[in-house]
Structure 1
Amino acid sequence: MATDELVELKFRLADGSDIGPSKYNSTASVSSLKEKIITQWPKGNENPPRSINDIKLINAGRILENNRTLGESRLPLSEVPGAAITMHVVVRSPIPDKNGDKSKDESKKKGGCFCTIL
């Protein structure tokens, strides 16, 4: 594979919408693809990613690693000539801040049943 080969990709979001298709150099890193996804994320879409660590890119059932290039991550057997490769985007749900949400934790502790045995 040539190092300057362009690959046409589109990114499928959980709601079924797509970002792209766009052409990317095969030497582009997976982390740079994730940065591009964040900048092109549809406005008003639920659960937007805040960083590249919030995103998992899946191609042909494999989760792509940030430090690999697109060329290293491709599976040529699953590609259709002349068609865009669809990669699925999974966004990790935000994890609540343990220190910032003390009022919610305390309300859970206060709720419930209290019995007195005499």
Structure 2
Amino acid sequence: MAGEEEEKEGEQLVELKFRLFDGTDLGPRKYATETTIATIKENILSQWPQGKENGPKTTNDMKLINAGKILENDKTLAESRVAVGELPGGVITMHVIVRPLTSDKASARQPSDPSKNNGCGCTIL
């Protein structure tokens, strides 16, 4: 990690920590303002505590929220307008939301009999 921070010398760094759904934090850790949100999500996924239930399986299973905004994967921290420099020496906390695993339940709800899926069941009086 020391080498990683040495490479980023000269770039503007922002210190971030990530609040999980149960109130625990990952970090803080410094990131260059040109780091993409997708890269940060990969880092969070690699640091995710092993014993936690309902953890993300992939980076697509999580959302990062900063100042009430969901951050987009293809944007950088700078493009996402993360409050860089507003808190001199401060740590910015982002919230990590994990998408619940509903794909199995959603497929189980679909009718298996195609004849039942033949139109509206509304009654007009």
Q: TM-score, normalised on structure 1?
A: 0.76
Deviations along 1:20-61, one digit per CA (max 9) or x if unpaired, are 000001110000000000000011111110111101000000
Moved beyond 6 Å, runs of 4+:
none
Note if 1:52 corresponds to 2:52: no
Residue 71 of structure 2 is aligned with which of 53, 64, 68? Answer: 64
Alignment of 1:92-111 (within 5 A): 92-97=99-104
TM value normalised by structure 2: 0.72
| 1:1-118 pair list within 5 angstroms | 4-76=11-83, 79-97=86-104
**CA gap 1:19/1:99 in 2 versus in 1, 3 angstroms:** closer
Displacement after TM superposition at 1:77 (Å): 8.1
Structure 1 unaligned segments of length 5 or more: list them. 107-118
| Counterpart for residue 7 of structure 2 | none
Q: How many residues align?
A: 102
Instruction: Find the aligned partners of 2:98 and 2:48 in 1 and give their Cα distance.
Output: 11
Q: Counterparts of 2:80 and 2:22 in 1: how far apart (Å)?
A: 24
Structure 2, unaligned stretches of length 5 or more? Answer: 1-9, 113-125
One-letter amino acid of the counterpart of residue 69, structure 1: T
On the 8 A contact 1:60/1:78 being kept in 2, the answer is no
Q: Distance in 2 between matches of 1:100 and 1:63?
A: 27
**Taking every aligned residue pair, what percent have the same amino acid on both sides?**
53
